[in-house]
Amino acid sequence: MNNYDSAKIRNIAFAGHNGSGKTSLAEAILYKAGASDRLGKVTDGTTVCDYDPEEIKRHISIGTSLASFRYNDNIVNLLDTPGLFDFAAEMIEGIRAADTVMITVSAKSGVKVGTHKAYDEAVKQKKSKMFVVTKTDDKDANFFNVLTELKTVFGPTVCPVVVPVIGGGKIVSYVNLIEMKAYKYDSKGNAVETDMPTAEISEKFEYRIDGLVAAITEAVAETSDELMEKFFEGEAFTQKELIDGIHDGMNRGIITPVVCTSASELTGIDMLLKEIELLLPNPAEVNPAEAETISGEPVEIPCDSSAPLSAYVFKTVADPFVGKMSFIRVVSGTLTANSEVMNSSAGTSEKIGKLSRLCGKKQTEVSSASAGEIVVAVKISANTGDTLCSPSKVLKFEPMDFPKPCYSMAVKAKTQGDEAKVSSAMQRITEEDPTITYRQDETTKEQILSGLGEQHLEIASAKARTKFGADIKLSVPKIAYKETIRKKVKVEGKHKKQSGGHGQYGHVWIEFEPCISDTLIFEERVFGGAVPKNYFPAVQKGLEDSVKKGVLAGCPVVGLKAILVDGSYHPVDSSEMAFKTAASIAYKEGLRKADPVMLEPIGELKVTVPDNKTGDVMGELNKRRGRVLGMEPVVHGTTCISAEVPVREMHDFAMYLRQVTRGLGSFSFDFLRYEQLPANLLTEVISSVDIEG
C-alpha cells in the first residue's frame, strides 16, 4: 500500500450509544468493500474490530479499533469506538483522529444518551457528522419516527439522504434522495434498481417523498447564495449540486445527513459506501489543525504533504507480544519508517521504527505515511496526546480533554510476592488508558486503582490477568480517618525497670494541647535540668513514633502539640530508650484524658446534572450527609451543584449518578479538609477500622 493523496483519504469514527450497531456496521462495510472475506458477528466473536479476548467474551467493544481498507482508489480509515460510558476516553480518541463522525442510532430504540454524547463530542472537536440509522430489519424498527426524533433533538441541520420504503409492515426498497432512485436488495445484499414507490406500495409515501425532497433541497439551498437563488426561483437542483451542497454543508457543520442500513442483511451498505466517497470531507478540506509554536503562539497546520512533519499520537495500546503500539494521525508532511523525529511534548528525540496500517489486528507494513493518514508505530516512547514533529518546525497540538477518574478500588496481588508484577501490569494499563490512575494512598498505604466505573476497573483487572499475568483482587478502599484531641491535659510518663546490672529509668511530665497542624509540634520548657538536654530528642522521637497510632482506632493523630515541662532522671539507669518509652506512656495516658475524637475526610463535590434531576441528586446528597453550597446553570439545560460531602459516603456515587441521570451526569470530587466524625458513627467506624487493620 502506497501513500495516498489527501483527497483520496476518508477518516471516519463510528460513535453512538452502546448496542446501536457500530461494530456490526463496520463489519458490513468491510465485507461489502472486499476488505474482509466473511461477515463476522459480534455474538459469535468473529468481527474484525472486536478482537480483544475481553471484547469477544463480553460481546461489547472496550477499545477503539482501526480498520483501514481500499475502496475505489480511496483509503478509508474506520475507527470503531465503544459506546459504554466507562470507555469514554476511547470515543474521544477515535473522534480526535477522524474527520467525520458517523453516529449510529438504532431504528428500534432511537435517540439515547450515547447519541447525545457522541454528537456533543463531535461538535466540541469541530468534526462533520452523519447519522446512520441501523437495524432497519428489526420487526420493531420505525425509521420515520427516529428521523422525526433526530430533527426534534438536533435541529434543522438533520437531512435525510437514504430512506426505506415500507409496505405491509416490511421494507420493500430503499430510496436514494440524491439520485431519486429506488433499490431492492437480494438475500446477499446486492442492489437492483426498482420503480420509485407509489401510494399503493406505502401509505402516504408520495407525501413523504415530497416532504423529504423538500427537506434535502432546503438544506442544500442554505449552503450558498447561488443555490438559494435557484431554490427561490423554483428550479430543481441537479444531482451534482445536491452532492456538492451536502458535501460542503457537512464540512461547515450546517448539514447532518441521515442514511439507513441493516448490517445483518447488508441492505443500504453499498449506498453508504457511495456516500463515504462523495459526501464526506477529506483531510485537506476540513479546518486546519490548531497548534502552538515553541514560544506559545497559536498556529494553524493545514493538511499538506510537502510541509514539515507534524503528527499526533491519539491512542496507545500495550500489547504483551508486539510491545507498545502508538496510533498516529499524520497532520502534515510525511512520517517515514526508520527515521528520527522530535517529540515536542516530552522535549526528546523519537526513533520511529516500523510503521503499519491496521485492519483490526491484521498489520500491513508501510514505508511511510503522508498528511491525513493514520498509521501505527511500534515500541516508541511517545504517550497518548504527544506531538511528533520535524526539528525544523517544532510545535505542539492541544491535548485531548478526558473525563477524570471517579470510581476507586483498592488493589492487592492475589499471590504474595506478585506485587512487582501487578505494579508493572498497572503501569502498562494506565499507559494505554488516560482515564485510569494507579497510586498509593499516603495514609492507608493501599494501592488505589481509579477509573470511570465498576465495569471499567473490572475489565482493567481482567486485562492485567490475561495480558500481563498479574492476578489481582479489588476491594473497597479504606477511608483515611485521623484522630485528634479537644482539650489540654498534663500527664506523667514514668518508665522504671530493674533487672540486674543497669536498670532503665525515664520520667517525664508532658502537656498535650490541640493545635492546627498535620504533624506533631514538640516544645520543651524544662527548668533546672530536671531532664538533661541530651534526652530531649529521645522524648520527641518517642512522641513522633506514637502519633502514628491514636487511642480510639489506631489512626494517625493530627493537631497535637506536646510540651515537655518536667521530669527526672537517674545518672546511671537513664538512657535514650528509657525516655523514649516514658514519652510513649505519657502519650497514651494523655490522649485518653484529652477528649480524643475521630476525624473523617471531607471532599468538595461539583456535580453536573440535567435540570429535571437536580431535586433527586440534592436529596441523595442530603442522605449522604452532604452540605449543598449552591447551584448554577451551565450549558444544554444542565445545572452544576456544589457541595461538601464526606469521602465515606462517596464510594458508589458514580454508580448512583449514572443510574439516575442515565449517563448524562458527571462530577468531580477533590479532598478538602478533615472534620469531626459524628458521634453516632464512632462505634461503627472504630469496628470497621479494627477489621481492616
Q: Which of 92, 98, 103 is nearest to 68 (CA)?
A: 98
Q: Which of 648, 684, 239 is nearest to 480 (CA)?
A: 648
Give pLDDT, residue 172.
Answer: 87
Which CATH number is 435's domain given?
Answer: 3.30.70.870
Joined together, the cell numbers standing for residue 69 give: 481498507
Q: Give 408-452 as a DSSP string.
A: EEEEEESSTT-HHHHHHHHHHHHHH-TT-EEEE-TTT--EEEEES
Taking residues 193-199, what's their average pLDDT? 81
Joined together, the cell numbers standing for residue 87 give: 470507555
Beta strands in 302-382 (DSSP E): 310-319, 323-332, 334-336, 339-343, 348-352, 355-359, 362-366, 368-370, 374-378
The strand pair at 100-106 and 9-16 is best described as parallel
The angle subtended at Cα 620 by Cα 619 and Cα 622, nearest 5°, is: 65
pLDDT at 155 over 60: yes
**Claim to verify: residue 265 and residue 137 sit in the same structural domain:** yes
3-state secondary structure of 552: coil
Joined together, the cell numbers standing for residue 88 give: 469514554
- Nearest 5°: phi and psi at 311? -145, 165
Taking residues 539-560, what's their average pLDDT? 93
Joined together, the cell numbers standing for residue 324 give: 507498545
Is 353 among the domain residues? yes
Give pLDDT, residue 691.
Answer: 53
Cβ atoms 358, 67 nearer than 8 A: yes
Rg (CA), the chain: 33
**Claim to verify: residue 121 and residue 177 sit in the same structural domain:** yes
Q: 598 or 526: whose pLDDT is higher?
A: 598
**Claim to verify: residue 293 and residue 274 sit in the same structural domain:** no
- Torsion-angle region of 459 (φ positive above 0: left; ψ -120 to 50: alpha; else: beta): alpha
pLDDT at 458 over 80: yes
Which CATH number is 270's domain given?
Answer: 3.40.50.300
- Cα(427)–Cα(407) distance, integer angstroms: 18
Joined together, the cell numbers standing for residue 254 give: 450546517
**Claim to verify: residue 492 and residue 471 sit in the same structural domain:** no
Tens-place pLDDT, residues 57-99: 999 999 999 999 999 989 999 999 999 999 999 999 999 999 9
Give pLDDT, residue 90.
Answer: 96
Instruction: Report how many domains make up the chain.
Output: 5
Among 333, 364, 397, the domain-final residue is: 397
The strand pair at 504-514 and 560-568 is best described as antiparallel
Give pLDDT, residue 570.
Answer: 87
Beta strands in 107-255 (DSSP E): 128-134, 158-160, 162-167, 170-176, 181-185, 191-194
Among 367, 397, 427, the domain-final residue is: 397
Which CATH number is 620's domain given?
Answer: 3.30.70.240
Quick one: pLDDT band at residue 528, thresholds 50, 70, 90?
A: confident
Cβ atoms 138, 246 nearer than 8 A: no
**Claim to verify: residue 590 and residue 613 sit in the same structural domain:** no
Is 283 among the domain residues? no
pLDDT at 397 over 50: yes
Is 402 among the domain residues? no
Is 222 among the domain residues? yes
Mean of pLDDT over the chain: 91
Is 264 among the domain residues? yes
**Claim to verify: residue 438 and residue 377 sit in the same structural domain:** no
The strand pair at 472-475 and 407-413 is best described as antiparallel
Tens-place pLDDT, residues 632-643: 998 778 999 999
pLDDT at 154 over 90: yes
Which CATH number is 582's domain given?
Answer: 3.30.230.10
Among 226, 250, 278, the domain-final residue is: 278
Cβ atoms 420, 390 nearer than 8 A: no
Helical ranges in 415-555 per DSSP H: 419-432, 454-468, 536-546
pLDDT at 544 over 80: yes
**Claim to verify: residue 609 and residue 516 sit in the same structural domain:** no
Give pLDDT, residue 337.
Answer: 93
Give pLDDT, residue 527.
Answer: 83
Taking residues 534-554, what's their average pLDDT? 93
Dihedral of the alpha carbons of 506, 511, 517, 523, in degrees to the nearest 10 = -60
Joined together, the cell numbers standing for residue 492 give: 506523667
- Cα(25)–Cα(262) distance, integer angstroms: 8
DSSP assigned state of 86? G
How many CA atoms does the CB half-sphere of 167 hold within 13 Å?
Answer: 14
Buried b / exposed e along 165-176 (16+ C-beta atoms within 10 A):
bbeeeebbbbbb
What's the residue count for the chain? Answer: 693
pLDDT at 1 over 50: no
Dihedral of the alpha carbons of 226, 230, 232, 238, in degrees to the nearest 10 = -130
Is 1 among the domain residues? no
Is 427 among the domain residues? yes
Which neighbouring-strand residues pair with 270? none
**Claim to verify: residue 52 and residue 155 sit in the same structural domain:** yes
CA 620 to chain centre: 25
Q: 212 or 184: whose pLDDT is higher?
A: 184
Full domain range(s) for residue 72: 6-278
**Claim to verify: residue 223 and residue 205 sit in the same structural domain:** yes
- Cα(590)–Cα(596) distance, integer angstroms: 10
**Claim to verify: residue 509 and residue 423 sit in the same structural domain:** no
**Claim to verify: residue 307 and residue 333 sit in the same structural domain:** yes
Q: Which of 434, 423, 429 is nearest to 386 (CA)?
A: 434
Which CATH number is 333's domain given?
Answer: 2.40.30.10
Is 317 among the domain residues? yes
CA 251 to chain centre: 27
Predicted TM-score of the model (pTM) = 0.88
Joined together, the cell numbers standing for residue 607 give: 456535580
Cβ atoms 468, 460 nearer than 8 A: no
Beta strands in 574-665 (DSSP E): 596-610, 627-634, 638-646
CA 575 to chain centre: 58
Give pLDDT, residue 299.
Answer: 94
Percent of the chain with pLDDT over 90: 76
pLDDT at 247 over 50: yes
**Claim to verify: residue 531 and residue 490 sit in the same structural domain:** yes
